[in-house]
């Protein structure tokens, strides 16, 4: 059973203020919790159905608090419409300084606000082997439960760095190019892009802010041929990353 | 004001059975309704705020029934969380036979079930200039309000063809290649794909069904380098279409 205190704590973690206060967040659903259990995240507790416990016994580390609960309790406690597997509470990773040496290529998001979009982008970044993501301070919260769900487990392999993006780009090593998605950029199909530098993706409605655009050394455009005015930011990120990684 | 009868009709159109019965569907939000008004869809009626009417007067055809309503009424009647612009009822396009001559390249979906995914895919297809989409009978409904919303207006430029996909592929002209997204396909980065033939995308969980896979002459794979097990079907469609259209 989930105690009243635990229920209150779980629900508080759906709000950013309390996630920051406790430096903790929730992970829901079979795939996401199973990936979490295989990662090096510090866990506070796991609430799981007997079925999940039986199926994933080997993943349940010694000393870990595992509370057996019903599907109804899980669905009531968490943010998913239905959850027949598990809900875990994990500690956020400590914020770390970004190292340019370790990341010859990095994806930077300028005020991407939609949690679903951010989650999709994290999954795509993981697909192409990135291990960090840089986000402007006003971007969606990496540890939001909808973001975590949309990453399909990729949140365990990508480290977020929230920064003042304008300063971050200004202070980069001089040789690092900055690419940015823009409607009036160069046709990516005519470039042989190499994954070196920074790729900036902008806000869902307004694109990249002018002060960030000033730092972009190579605007990029995905050529369209039909009537659609734009692509979703997750879709555009996927196409651009594929264009960067196709030549190596 | 939206009459009780109209309200009941609008709500019934959120259910596929009633959409089929009336051959009608709803379109919500400023961007989508504005695109609808610029298309050749037959309209039954438009419910709009004074603000929308003032802004888009030039789009309101003579003889069209436009009912001025409040934001509250719109949000209450429709499926969107909030709608400060308009809701329109339009007639579905009559089903048309698919013409291989008119579509040298076509996207076919095998049981793509999520309305958000289908909407995203329609928007991407429109971006790359496709004008039709082929769907297996069990795929999500093109006229579902969540699909329409996710297309961001692209539903006006793409015609759906629901077919028995196995027969459709079996009966294609002999020279038409069938590409299919599959984890064990050929690396798309090593192919110079041309937009000729059929590209099949499979179900969110199970991929392409075996009986459809039998018709695939060229399985395709997007090479990943990280830990993510798969890509979302919308994301994968975007990357593959970009690979088809980058060489022309």
Query: Which chain B residue is nearest to residue A31, measuring alpha carbons?
Result: B229
Q: Is B197 on the interface with A (CB under 8 A)?
A: no
Q: Do B239 and A234 touch (CB under 8 A)?
A: no
Nearest to A8 by CA among A17, A16, A18: A18
Q: Provide the β-strand partners of residue B134.
A: B108, B161
Asked if residue B56 and residue B34 are part of one domain, the reply reads yes
Burial class for B71, CB neighbours closer than 10 Å (0-12, 13-18, 19+):
middle
Q: pLDDT per residue over A55-68, tens digit each? A: 999 999 888 989 99
Rounded CA-CA distance A38/A59 in Å is 7
Q: Is B226 on the interface with A (CB under 8 A)?
A: yes
Residue span of the structural domain in which B49 resides: 4-91
Length of chain A as a residue count: 248
Q: What percent of chain B has pLDDT over 70?
A: 100
Number of domains in chain B: 2
H or E element that contains A76: helix A71-77
H or E element that contains B244: helix B233-245
Rg (CA), chain B: 20
Q: Do B123 and A245 touch (CB under 8 A)?
A: no
Read off the pLDDT of each residue in B79-101 and give the average, rounded to a whole number. 93
Mean pLDDT by 10 residues, chain A (248 residues): 95 97 97 96 96 95 91 93 95 92 96 97 98 97 97 97 97 96 93 97 95 97 93 96 95
Confidence of residue B189 (pLDDT cuts 50, 70, 90): very high
Q: Is A238 on the interface with B (CB under 8 A)?
A: yes
Q: Do A239 and B239 touch (CB under 8 A)?
A: yes
Asked if residue A31 and residue A84 are part of one domain, the reply reads yes
Confidence of residue B184 (pLDDT cuts 50, 70, 90): confident
Q: Do A238 and B239 touch (CB under 8 A)?
A: yes
Is B243 in contact with A238 (CB distance < 8 Å)? Answer: no
**DSSP-based three-state secondary structure for B138:** coil
Confidence of residue B62 (pLDDT cuts 50, 70, 90): confident
Asked if residue A192 and residue A140 are part of one domain, the reply reads yes
Asked if residue A11 and residue A122 are part of one domain, the reply reads no
**DSSP-based three-state secondary structure for A118:** helix
Q: Do A120 and B232 touch (CB under 8 A)?
A: yes
Asked if residue A196 and residue A122 are part of one domain, the reply reads yes
**Residues sharing a CB contact under 8 Å with residue B245, sequence separation 6 or more, in sequence order:** A189, A223, A225, B128, B129, B195
Confidence of residue B218 (pLDDT cuts 50, 70, 90): very high
Residue A220 resides in a domain: yes
Sheet holding B43-48, edge to edge: B24-28, B86-91, B43-48, B66-68
Q: Do A235 and B189 touch (CB under 8 A)?
A: no
pLDDT attached to residue A149: 96
Asked if residue A63 and residue A164 are part of one domain, the reply reads no
Q: Provide the β-strand partners of residue B105.
A: B197
Q: Is B191 on the interface with A (CB under 8 A)?
A: no
For residue A196, what are its two tokens? 């070196």
Burial class for A35, CB neighbours closer than 10 Å (0-12, 13-18, 19+):
buried
ipTM above 0.90 for this complex:
yes
Read off the pLDDT of each residue in B36-51 and give the average, rounded to a whole number. 96
Q: pLDDT per residue over A122-162, tens digit each? A: 999 999 999 999 999 999 999 999 999 999 999 999 999 99
DSSP E strands: which ranges in A164-242?
A: 178-187, 197-201, 218-221
Asked if residue B241 and residue B118 are part of one domain, the reply reads yes
Asked if residue A212 and residue A125 are part of one domain, the reply reads yes
Residue A99 resides in a domain: no
Of residues B248 and B164, more confidently modeled = B164
Asked if residue B191 and residue B133 are part of one domain, the reply reads yes
pLDDT at residue B91 greater than cutoff 90: yes
Query: Which chain B residue is nearest to residue A155, measuring alpha carbons?
Result: B228
């Amino acid at each position: 059973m989930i105690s009243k205190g635990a229920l209150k704590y779980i629900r508080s973690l759906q709000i950013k203020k309390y996630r920051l206060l406790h430096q903790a967040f929730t992970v829901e659903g079979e795939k996401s919790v199973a990936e979490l259990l295989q990662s090096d995240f510090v866990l506070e507790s796991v609430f799981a159905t007997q079925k999940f416990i039986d199926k994933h016994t080997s993943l349940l580390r010694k000393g870990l608090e595992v509370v057996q609960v019903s599907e109804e309790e899980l669905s009531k406690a968490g943010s998913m419409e239905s959850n027949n597997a598990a809900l875990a509470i994990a500690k956020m990773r400590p914020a770390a300084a970004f190292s340019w040496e370790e990341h010859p290529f990095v994806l930077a998001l300028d005020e991407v606000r939609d949690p679903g979009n951010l989650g999709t982008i994290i999954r795509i970044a993981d697909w192409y082997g990135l291990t960090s993501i840089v986000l402007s301070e006003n971007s969606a919260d990496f540890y939001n439960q909808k973001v975590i769900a949309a990453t399909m487990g990729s949140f365990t392999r990508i480290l977020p760095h929230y920064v003042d993006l304008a300063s971050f780009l200004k202070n980069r090593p001089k040789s690092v190019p900055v690419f940015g998605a823009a409607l009036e950029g160069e046709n990516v199909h005519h470039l042989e892009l190499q994954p070196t530098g920074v790729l900036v993706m902008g806000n869902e409605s307004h694109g990249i802010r002018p002060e960030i655009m000033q730092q972009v050394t190579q605007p990029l455009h995905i050529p369209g041929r039909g009537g659609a005015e734009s692509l979703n930011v997750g879709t555009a990120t996927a196409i651009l990353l594929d264009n960067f990684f196709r030549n190596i």
